[in-house]
Amino acid sequence: MRDTGVGRVYLVGAGPGDPGLLTVRGLQCLREADALVYDRLANDRLLAEARPDAERIYVGKEPDAHTLTQDEICQLLVRLGLEGKTVCRLKGGDPFVFGRGGEEALALLEVGVPFEIVPGVTSAIAAAAYAGIPVTHRGVATSFAAITGHEDPTKGESSIRWDRLATGVDTLVFLMGVGNLPHIVENLVANGRPAGTPVALVRWGTTPKQRVVTGTLADIVERVAAARLKSPALIVVGEVVALREQLKWFDQRPLFGKRVVVTRSREQASALTEKLEALGASVTEAPTIRIEDLADYAEVDSALRQLATYDWVVFTSVNAVQHVRRRLDVLGLDARAFGGVQLCAIGPATGDALRQFGLRPELVPERFVAESVVEAFAEHDLAGKRVLLPRALEARELIPEKLAERGAHVDVVPVYRTVADERSADMLKQLVASGEVDVLTFTASSTVHNFVKLVGEEAAHALPAEVVCASIGPVTSRTAEEYGLTVAVEASEHTIDGLADALAAWQQA
């Protein structure tokens, strides 16, 4: 395509819902875009991959309730392209599988705006696969077809050749057909498909909200009505549906369907979110803490310039490592400044953060709480030793006090501060009031303190009995209990992995 000098529009298939199914090329286009145009079937998690300064435009595309009509969407893409912008048009599924991507491409072609098609994983295959249904299977189905289920049943003549389709293809996949399910069933049976043919409807396929209703052509309409299943869902018709009982996997994971709230800081929430989602949970990130820089780094910088005068530096969090590393960069220093200094890291994550900086901790306690740091120093003579403790502005005094009792001279130097993340207040209040939470996770005492601060003590005390509080360790659990919260799940290994494993074990118990 000839470069016209104007912008460029990427018509990107966002996949069926699971953000992990976006293609590598699609992610690249998303991250480069000046403007992002998206609909409701594009996972919200993908929006976070766009540049912070990228324009975000929601264009709806819900059944019978479009924010913009298709013609208006085409004109929007044309306008943005003619303005010289790089545009990512993020479409659910694949742009050319009932995505009307062809219409958008033709509109761009007409005015000379360059475009690129980035195929996506269509729900016609992926949602069925996540439900444990292969659209083809040796000895069962050697063909499949994807059919629109959105055809108006009241129009004079159907564009679907029901007489050939009903028995001419082994597996039929209807997209956008929940509202027309009775019409689809009637036409299939009337044209020779046996009433006993297995059928499955998959709603919100590939996401933690996935629901599957199965039956046959004879009873699927009644089963779907009884289950109150709504769109978006696809309909799979064929003998392969019977394989679901053996092959279902996605909705068999230990935390499938559980609604879990992650209260970690926004920068750190993703690690826990990914682990919980891998276990099947539906995760809402509602950070209760925000990591902030200090107003004055004079004390920190002074200590870092004198690192060689210390015998030990004790890191109690990944945040401390990151902020020390940042200040060293500002000072024109690097890992060599720690030459001759011994390092202690509380937990493997903090140890890994040091190793990424080119440093090897001499001491990593087996348990990942402040008390274990004190215990780990039991075999070391600290009399007269100088210890630097870079940490949060507000933290427990146990480590400096106990090390001082052992004869060490401890310099406590704040390198960051944690504050309540007021941006989550309304979301947390709504979640608590809605009753749509199964698990609240707390990864530090600060997340508990600020959860109570943001929702209010009265609301925190009134949490429904069925809401499970899960804690990363005993110190965090004690803090929660001091606020009247009951901790039902506590990680035996006080790490993010340990917390996720504890939740999985709790659900399977």
Q: Which residues are catalytic?
A: 39, 61, 176
DSSP assignment of 37-92: EE-TTS-HHHHTTS-TTSEEEE---BTTB-SS-HHHHHHHHHHHHHTT-EEEEEES
- Torsional sign, CA 304, 308, 310, 311: positive
Which amino acid is residue 246, in one-letter code?
Q
What is the token pair recorded at 211? Answer: 């629901």
- Residue 383, C-beta contacts closer than 8 angstroms, at least 6 positions apart: 406, 407, 408
Spell out a b/e string for 178-193, using b for 16 or more CB atoms within 10 Å of the CB, else e: bebbebbbebbeeeeb
Tell me how far apart the alpha carbons of residues 115 and 92 are, in angstroms, rounded to a whole number: 18
- Residue 336, C-beta contacts closer than 8 angstroms, at least 6 positions apart: none
Phi-psi category of residue 61: left, alpha or beta, with phi > 0 → left and psi -120 to 50 → alpha: left
Helix (H) and strand (E) counts for the chain? 20, 20
**CA nearest to 388, candidates 414, 372, 411, 355:** 411
**CA nearest to 380, candidates 407, 354, 412:** 407
**Do the bridges between strand 233-237 and strand 198-203 make them parallel or antiparallel, or are there none, so unpaired?**
antiparallel
Tell me how far apart the alpha carbons of residues 318 and 495 are, in angstroms, rounded to a whole number: 12
Give the helix ranges, DSSP H, for 331-397: 348-356, 370-376
Burial class from Cβ neighbours inside 10 Å (0-12, 13-18, 19+) for residue 245 reads exposed
The length of the chain is: 509
What is the token pair recorded at 270? Answer: 């993703």
**Do the bridges between strand 259-262 and strand 171-175 make them parallel or antiparallel, or are there none, so unpaired?**
unpaired
